Amino acid sequence: MSGVQEEPSPAAPQHPEEIKSVFDLRLGKHVILQGSARITPAGVISAGIAVAVVAVALGYLASSTRRRRQ
């Protein structure tokens, strides 16, 4: 063994169920924005849970604010 580790190819996904998106956004004649995103199914679920928790917290704050004003 030579002790040299081979790095995975950048074209190969790091996770077998990885979701990848690439986009180009053109603003006018001279501005072009390019972006990409990668997420796994577990990341989608985690993001959904985080959004739900924030929505519940904001709903609780909104309802408690209405109760104080009455």
* Domains of the chain by residue range: 19-69
Q: Which helix (H) or strand (E) holds 64?
A: helix 41-69
pLDDT digits (tens, 9 = 90+) for 3-52: 555 555 566 556 678 888 999 999 988 999 999 988 899 999 999 999 99
Tell me the whole-structure pTM to 2 decimals. Answer: 0.55
pLDDT of 55 higher than 60: yes
pLDDT of 1 higher than 60: no
Half-sphere exposure of 52 (CA within 13 A, CB side): 6
